[in-house]
Amino acid sequence: MSLSNLNVWDYVVNFIDILLVWFVIYKLLTIIRGTKAIQLLKGIFVIVIVKSLSNLFGFNTLGWLMAQVMNWGVLAILVIFQPELRRALEQLGRGKLFSRGTVPEENQQERLVEEILKASTYMAKRRIGALITIEKGTELGDYVETGIPLKSYISSELLINIFIPNTPLHDGAVILQNNQVAAAACYLPLSESPFISKELGTRHRAAIGMSEVTDSLTIVVSEETGGISVTKNGELYRDLDQESFRAMLTSELVVENIKTTSSGIWNWRGKKNG
């Protein structure tokens, strides 16, 4: 009887152990989803597959090369992702390892939408060029550091004032982070895609480039046409009217709408990339 109970207990412990491992893996994937680390995991997965195939088919040279990559890759990961690892340890110390951070209240996000809409509409009517990037899952700290730190309360008046021509901060992008104007005059990566329309300028190319390397939402106000465009996931949606622009901002930034539209399908009209 005791031996039977021991076997049952072992099964229960093993089952709980497996569940805990899967839970930890799931939470870690949730934390890194939408960050640069997810690309790293994809790369590691490819290297492991190539290493396994090399061993299977006897490709000794390729297998040795993959083994060196795996051996030295750990050190490279520690160096490249030092900020992320430090942040994870800080969260562990605060007991927030499995939290992606405090989610802003819905009314704050609705106010954010209204302020951005008001500022963009004002600048579009007066042909004032603007470039505004809103942080989502991927942290934009590297890009914030290229600009002038503000850490200011978000208001349409502040956004408009930043982009007034010939002012010190008007040249570059404004980055909104954690419901604040994190920095202005920031440099964004320019897209090198050959499919971008030649009539688009540096602001649009920078907005597309930003959307190619992060999951951020970037708003462009053209000083030539006064058109409002938005980039996301490498796609450019041009010359949106006020209703479509509001719908897009609400769908992307308001928590309730994000939960109810988890498929991520955009259901508004807009001209795509030229």
Q: Is the pTM of this model over 0.75?
A: no
User: Does 137 share its domain with 240?
Assistant: yes
Looking at the domain assignment, is residue 100 inside a domain? no
pLDDT in tens, 164-189: 998 888 889 999 988 889 999 999 98
Mark whether 84 and 142 lie in a shared domain: no
> What is the per-residue pLDDT across 13-41, written as a single tens digit (0 to 9) for each?
888 989 988 888 777 776 666 556 666 77
Q: Cα–Cα distance between 112 and 26 in angstroms, integer? A: 31
DSSP assigned state of 95: T
Q: Provide the pLDDT for residue 272.
A: 46
Same domain? For 138 and 217 the reply is yes
Does residue 191 share a domain with residue 66? no
Q: What is the DSSP letter of 10?
A: H
Residue 266 domain-assigned (yes or no) = no
Residue 131 lies in a domain: yes
Question: Is 182 contained in some domain?
Answer: yes
DSSP-derived secondary structure for 139-162 = --HHHHTTSEEEEEE--HHHHHHH
- Let me know whether 76 and 140 are in one domain: no
Q: Are residues 232 and 134 in the same domain?
A: yes
Q: Where are the beta strands (DSSP E) in 56-122?
A: none
Domain range for 210: 105-253
Whether 111 is in a domain gets the answer yes
Secondary structure letter of residue 170 according to DSSP:
-
- Give tens-digit pLDDT for 189-240: 898 888 888 888 889 999 999 998 888 999 999 988 899 999 988 889 998 9
Write down how long the chain is. Answer: 274
d(CA 169, CA 149): 11
* Last residue in a domain, options 54, 88, 122: 88
User: Model confidence over 130-167: pLDDT tens digits?
Assistant: 999 999 888 888 899 999 999 899 999 999 999 999 88
The verdict on residue 197 lying in a domain is: yes
The verdict on residue 189 lying in a domain is: yes
End-to-end, the C-alpha distance of the chain in Å comes to: 76
Which among 135, 106, 138, 129 has a CA at the least distance from the CA of 35?
A: 138
Is residue 132 included in any domain, yes or no? yes
Work out the pLDDT band at 68, boundaries 50, 70, 90. confident
**Counted domains in the chain:** 2
